[in-house]
Amino acid sequence: MQNFIFSNPTKIVFGEGQIKELANLVPANARVLVTYGGGSIKKNGVYNQVVQALEGKTWFEFGGIEPNPHYETLMKAVELVKKEKIDFLLPVGGGSVIDGTKLIAAAVDFDGEPWDIMAKNQAFHSALPIGCVLTLPATGTESNGNSVITRASTQEKLAFGSPLVYPRFAILDPTTTYSLPPRQIANGVVDAFVHIMEQYLTYPVDAKVQDRFAEGLLMTLIEEGPRALKEPTNYQVRANVMWAATMALNGLIGVGVPQDWATHMIGHELTAMHGLDHAQTLSVVLPAVMQHQRAKKHGKLVQYGRRVWGLMQSNEEELIDAAIAATRQFFEQMGNPTTLSGYGVGRESIPKLVDMLVKHDLLALGEHGVITPEASREILELAA
Amino acid sequence: MQNFIFSNPTKIVFGEGQIKELANLVPANARVLVTYGGGSIKKNGVYNQVVQALEGKTWFEFGGIEPNPHYETLMKAVELVKKEKIDFLLPVGGGSVIDGTKLIAAAVDFDGEPWDIMAKNQAFHSALPIGCVLTLPATGTESNGNSVITRASTQEKLAFGSPLVYPRFAILDPTTTYSLPPRQIANGVVDAFVHIMEQYLTYPVDAKVQDRFAEGLLMTLIEEGPRALKEPTNYQVRANVMWAATMALNGLIGVGVPQDWATHMIGHELTAMHGLDHAQTLSVVLPAVMQHQRAKKHGKLVQYGRRVWGLMQSNEEELIDAAIAATRQFFEQMGNPTTLSGYGVGRESIPKLVDMLVKHDLLALGEHGVITPEASREILELAA
């Protein structure tokens, strides 16, 4: 185990009916901005629950935050925050709404062009407090300090992170996910699954607790992901998926262990160039990374196959083959093809995707920093 | 899964050499009281590391906090805090030192007799901030809001808990545990193990993440506990034990699930009456509780046997027998007898122990509240 620092200040308020707790969780005299996306919360009753819970408080609203939230949109929200002297932000929605609201929080008092927080890694020294209502289990943003923002005008998609933008609280009511389209549930399960794999499938450092936790989350998603599609109003299934997705990226399983993230980096280029959903890109890239890096990941691949999939092959290479096949099959069972061709992306795109990795200076990916652009090309060929 | 609220604000600073981080973690202008126990930290170098890290800060010290920390001793520390206008508490040691310092923190501004915080469950509304250096993995107190205090004059041992006494930070350096006597390591592993069991071995509520996490921690302690005894300076082993013990009782695995704690309650009477170490009492009582409650705990006992011990019996009663036997054998392997007679306590003590449970109003223990004094008597008979 490597040395680490772990801290996660987000208060989780979990379960059916918890949205009403906003009445207590939002500071009494706050001037609140409720942010949300395309309006699904108005159809599924979540918006009304929020409005009821905020009764008597001073609040405003800003809707229309896009999937892959647009910088340009968020800057309009910043203007509203300044104009109305907002001092508390309440995103209600999925990862994009919460990610976007984190940038709003950081940008309000930022001295300069807020895009530079992402583009030039410029520090900010304060942020408005955030509390959130999560309606889509997937990214873990509800209890971490990370955010990914897209600049529509240039098609750039960049990330930032800071302890200042951890939500103070996150309300997770599994019933709010009942009305999600199957594709969003599938993507959420795959996204959480790959978050865990990026922190788990590296090389062994004898971090037994972190390994067991990661394996437990993976097994939970394998058991509950397909059921979440088949039984969309099964409360316990949705609750398990929601809690697993939060735990997948709240920092806990990644402490003291190496991390990979090559799959995410390569996948981002696929989203940017071909518009695949984030989790669709992960479904394509992860099995190929597992195959390409099987020698360097040998120890953890064997452990993964045995513990997560219960594989019994005595020949370790055969066991690894089976583990990769099982992973691929799981993504396909969730409805996500695991090849580029499955999304209509041909081999001719591969050189362009590699060019973009080079342009973005992603020249040494993975836990060993050995996934060069040439290796990324090979990975994409394996994924074709 | 049941509804829950989870929050844990303690910043964990984990790994070899981390004590020097006190220089950054303790507020710059604080007036610090370093509290500790019998002085083992002066022998193993921890005290010197703390002194070096505090160089340039204003600090005082208070040693001599006992195992099962005495109220009377702690009240002397409160006088020192008031006299020297201390505004930050820094316990350095195991669970007793940290537990005791939590009471100091709560008592300083308490209006009344601080014993009533435990005895009459009186609320307190402020507490001095605490940061801690943990040197004995066991109780989890380094990142929770719980404390157990003993009044020497009356032999009462009572608990309190409050979000106000969560340590702000906890430094966990596994090398500080190298010099612990085997008995303390054994007790720490058993204590952590039973903390997990109290939150896990109840009845199924389909909380898959919590179950997998609990099982992962149990397996880690089963793998690493005996190695911690055999290889006292194996860093990775001590690191895994230390992290598992913290995760065992920081609130995480207990969210949204029923909890038991009968073993602890019955065990406390054994410590009070016969002076057994806390974890020794747990080693005696838990297997008997498992046996006595096997019908009500059937589902989880089967799951525990299969997942934690890898048992394959198709007959579930035989599997449960084997799971209880494996648990007993594990405690014995750690050096703790699992019967009353193993500690020289005869059957004649059982009625007196039950009388004490009645006196302490512990009339309905366990996750169903069905462990009456008569059932406790039967459990103690099974443990004879």
- Burial string for A109-133 (b: 16+ CB within 10 Å, else e) reads ebeeebbebbbeeeebeebbbbbbb
pLDDT at A316 over 90: yes
Which stretches of chain A are DSSP H helices?
22-25, 40-43, 46-53, 71-83, 95-107, 115-119, 182-200, 208-230, 235-248, 262-274, 278-292, 298-309, 316-333, 350-359, 373-382
Residue from B18, B208, B219 to probe the interface with A (highest A Cβ count within 10 Å): B208
CA–CA gap between residue A243 and residue B40 (Å, rounded): 42
Residue B13: per-residue pLDDT:
98
Strands B58-62, A146-151: pairing kind: unpaired
CB-based contact, A19 to chain B, within 8 Å: no
- Burial string for A300-311 (b: 16+ CB within 10 Å, else e) reads bbbbbbbbbbeb
CB-based contact, A206 to chain B, within 8 Å: yes
Q: Which two tokens stand for residue B41?
A: 């930290």
Smallest Cβ–Cβ distance between A216 and the set B5, B9, B209 belongs to B209
8 Å CB contact of B244 and A208: yes
- For domain A11-176, the CATH architecture is 3-Layer(aba) Sandwich (3.40)
CA–CA gap between residue B91 and residue A21 (Å, rounded): 36
Q: How close B133 gets to chain A, by Cα (Å)? A: 14
| pLDDT band at residue A57 under the 50/70/90 scheme | very high
Q: Give A236's contacts in chain B (Cβ within 8 Å).
A: 1, 206
- Domain ranges in chain A with CATH number 1.20.1090.10: 185-382
B7: nearest CA partner in chain A: A11
Q: How close B375 gets to chain A, by Cα (Å)? A: 33
A1: nearest CA partner in chain B: B236
Using alpha carbons, select from A49, A34, A134, A41 the residue that is nearest to residue A88: A34
CA–CA gap between residue A146 and residue A249 (Å, rounded): 10
8 Å CB contact of B11 and A7: yes
8 Å CB contact of A6 and B17: no
- Burial string for A61-96 (b: 16+ CB within 10 Å, else e) reads bbbebbbbbbbebbeebbeebeeeebbbbbbbbbbb
Q: Give A16's contacts in chain B (Cβ within 8 Å).
A: 3
Residue B155: per-residue pLDDT:
78
B9: nearest CA partner in chain A: A9
8 Å CB contact of A5 and B13: yes
Residue position matching structure tokens 């990862």: A95
Q: How close A175 gets to chain B, by Cα (Å)? A: 12
Q: Which two tokens stand for residue B249?
A: 């009782």
8 Å CB contact of B209 and A243: yes
For the segment A229-252, the average pLDDT, to the nearest whole number, is: 98
Residue from B4, B22, B205, B209 to probe the interface with A (highest A Cβ count within 10 Å): B209
Residue B39: per-residue pLDDT:
87
Fold classified for B184-382: Dehydroquinate synthase-like, alpha domain (1.20.1090)
- Domain ranges in chain A with CATH number 3.40.50.1970: 11-176
Contact (Cβ atoms closer than 8 angstroms) between residue B87 and residue B128: yes
Using alpha carbons, select from A165, A137, A136 the residue that is nearest to residue A149: A165
How many C-beta atoms surround the C-beta of residue B63 within 10 A?
Answer: 17
CB-based contact, A23 to chain B, within 8 Å: no
DSSP element (H, E) containing B90: strand B88-93
Dihedral (Cα; B108, B113, B114, B117), 10-degree rounding: -130
Residues 6+ apart with CB under 8 A from A219: A308, B208, B212
Using alpha carbons, select from B165, B99, B101, B173 the residue that is nearest to residue B133: B173
Contact (Cβ atoms closer than 8 angstroms) between residue B99 and residue B162: no
Q: How close A223 gets to chain B, by Cα (Å)? A: 9
Residues 6+ apart with CB under 8 A from B204: B211, B299, B300, B303
CB-based contact, A147 to chain B, within 8 Å: no
Smallest Cβ–Cβ distance between A220 and the set B15, B212, B252 belongs to B212
Residues 6+ apart with CB under 8 A from A259: A198, A199, A202, A367
- Domain ranges in chain B with CATH number 1.20.1090.10: 184-382
Residue A92: per-residue pLDDT:
98
- Sign of the dihedral defined by the CA atoms of residues A171, A174, A175, A176, in that order: positive
Encoded amino acid at A68, one letter: N
Smallest Cβ–Cβ distance between A220 and the set B12, B209, B224 belongs to B209
Q: How close A235 gets to chain B, by Cα (Å)? A: 9
Residue B272: per-residue pLDDT:
87
Smallest Cβ–Cβ distance between B209 and the set A3, A8, A217 belongs to A217
Residues 214-253 of chain A with CB under 8 A from chain B are 215-217, 219-220, 223-224, 236, 239-240, 243-244, 247, 252
In tens digits, what is the pLDDT along chain B, a chain of 384 residues? Answer: 999 999 999 999 999 999 999 999 999 999 999 999 998 999 999 999 999 999 999 999 999 999 989 999 999 999 999 999 999 999 999 999 999 999 999 999 999 999 999 999 999 999 999 999 999 999 999 999 999 999 988 878 889 999 999 999 999 999 999 999 999 999 999 999 999 999 999 999 999 999 999 999 999 999 999 999 999 999 999 999 999 999 999 999 999 999 999 999 999 999 989 999 999 999 999 999 999 999 999 999 999 999 999 999 999 999 999 999 999 999 999 999 999 999 999 999 999 999 999 998 999 999 999 999 999 999 999 999
CA–CA gap between residue B253 and residue B212 (Å, rounded): 9
CA–CA gap between residue A377 and residue A362 (Å, rounded): 12
Write out pLDDT tens, residues A146-201: 999 999 888 788 899 999 999 999 999 999 999 999 999 999 999 999 999 999 99
Distances (CA, A) of B166 to A163, B99, B117: 19, 10, 16
Residue A155: per-residue pLDDT:
78
Q: What is the reported pTM? A: 0.97
Write out pLDDT tens, residues A206-221: 999 999 999 999 999 9
Residue A177: per-residue pLDDT:
97
8 Å CB contact of B208 and A223: yes
CA–CA gap between residue B124 and residue B145 (Å, rounded): 13
Task: Count interface pairs A-B at CB distance under 8 A.
Answer: 124
Q: Give A212's contacts in chain B (Cβ within 8 Å).
A: 212-213, 215-217, 219-220
Residue A74: per-residue pLDDT:
98
What's the burial of B192, exposed, middle or buried (CB within 10 Å: 0-12/13-18/19+)?
Answer: buried
CA–CA gap between residue B172 and residue A189 (Å, rounded): 34
CA–CA gap between residue A192 and residue A134 (Å, rounded): 15
B243: nearest CA partner in chain A: A209
Using alpha carbons, select from B1, B141, B128 the residue that is nearest to residue B60: B128
Residue B152: per-residue pLDDT:
87
What does the mean pLDDT of chain A come to? Answer: 97
CA–CA gap between residue A272 and residue A68 (Å, rounded): 10
8 Å CB contact of A236 and B206: yes
8 Å CB contact of A14 and B255: yes
pLDDT at A127 over 90: yes
> Helices A278-292 and A262-274 sit at what angle, rounded to 10 degrees?
130
Residue B154: per-residue pLDDT:
84
CA–CA gap between residue B132 and residue B172 (Å, rounded): 9
A204: nearest CA partner in chain B: B236
- Sign of the dihedral defined by the CA atoms of residues B168, B173, B179, B180, in that order: positive
CB-based contact, B373 to chain A, within 8 Å: no
How many C-beta atoms surround the C-beta of residue B67 within 10 A?
Answer: 16
8 Å CB contact of A209 and B16: no
Encoded amino acid at A272, one letter: A
Q: Which two tokens stand for residue B114?
A: 């601080």
Using alpha carbons, select from A196, A304, A300, A271 the residue that is nearest to residue A241: A196
Q: Give B13's contacts in chain A (Cβ within 8 Å).
A: 5
Q: Give B172's contacts in chain A (Cβ within 8 Å).
A: none
Q: How close B137 gets to chain A, by Cα (Å)? A: 14
Write out pLDDT tens, residues B175-196: 999 999 999 999 999 999 999 9
CB-based contact, B146 to chain A, within 8 Å: no
CB-based contact, B213 to chain A, within 8 Å: yes
Residues 76-95 of chain A with CB under 8 A from chain B are none
What's the burial of B236, exposed, middle or buried (CB within 10 Å: 0-12/13-18/19+)?
Answer: middle
DSSP element (H, E) containing B243: helix B235-248
CB-based contact, A2 to chain B, within 8 Å: yes
CA–CA gap between residue A293 and residue A371 (Å, rounded): 9
What's the burial of B56, exposed, middle or buried (CB within 10 Å: 0-12/13-18/19+)?
Answer: exposed
8 Å CB contact of A3 and B12: no
Fold classified for A185-382: Dehydroquinate synthase-like, alpha domain (1.20.1090)
Q: How close B215 gets to chain A, by Cα (Å)? A: 8
Dihedral (Cα; A52, A53, A57, A60), 10-degree rounding: -70
